[in-house]
Structure 1
Amino acid sequence: MFVRIVKLSFHEENIPAFLENFEQMKEKIRNAPGNRLLELYQDKNNPCIFFTYSYWDAEEDLENYRNSELFYDVWTFTKKLFNDKPEAWSVDKLVTLD
């Protein structure tokens, strides 16, 4: 399993549209094969910056999602709302403290 972190920065006036679309698509994304978790965070100091955290079984699962019609629909809509280039990281989870 690995974690995918994506930083998204939006024009302030586009945040409601992003949140509405995320609400409509989150279950579909979460149900993509190999996806184990999907979370959305908003920066405390800059409300125009968001982060998605998603857990994937394998890199192949993420690639399959990224090549899907669902991803195309989500990304085509979302990228029009950005005020900066998105950034993404794939990381391995090393420690969990319960």
Structure 2
Amino acid sequence: MFVRIVKMSFEPSKIKSFLAYFETKKHLIRGFEGCEFLELYRDKENSNIFFTYSYWKAESDLENYRNSDLFKTVWATTKQYFNDKPEAWSVDKLVSLK
């Protein structure tokens, strides 16, 4: 399993639209084959910065998602709300404490 973190910065006037759109797509993204976990975070200091945090069984599962019609539709809509270039990291989880 590995983790995908995506940082997105939104035009302040478009945040409500993004959140409403994300609400309609979050279960489809989470339900995509290989996606085991999905969360959305908002920065406490800069309220127009958000992060998605997702767990994937394998890198091939994330690639399948990134090549899917679902991703293409979600990303095309979401990027209309950006005010800066997004950043993304794929990382391996080394330690997890509960």
- Give the structure-2-normalised TM-score: 0.99
CA-based RMSD: 0.4
AA matched with 1:12: P
Corresponding residue of 1:36: 36
Give distance in 2, aligned partners of 1:72 and 1:20: 18
For residues 77 and 34 of structure 1, what CA distance do their matches in structure 2 show? 23
Shift of 1:59: 0.4
Question: In 2, distance between residues paired with 1:66 and 1:96?
Answer: 26
- How far apart in 2 are the matches of 1:94 and 1:17? 35
TM-score normalised over the length of structure 1: 0.99
Q: Distance in 1 between matches of 2:40 and 2:79?
A: 16
**Aligned residue pairs: how many?**
98
Spell out the pairing of 1:1-98 with structure 2 (5 A cutoff): 1-98=1-98
- Find the aligned partners of 1:57 and 1:73 in 2 and give their Cα distance: 23
Mapped partners of 1:74, 1:7: distance in 2: 15
Q: Deviations over 1:15-66 (max 9, x none)?
A: 0010001000000000000000000000000000000000000000000000
Structure 2: stretches of 5+ with no match in the other structure? none
Q: Which amino acid letter does the alignment assign opposite residue 43 of structure 1?
A: D
Report the alpha carbon displacement of residue 97 of structure 1 after superposing the two structures with TM: 1.0
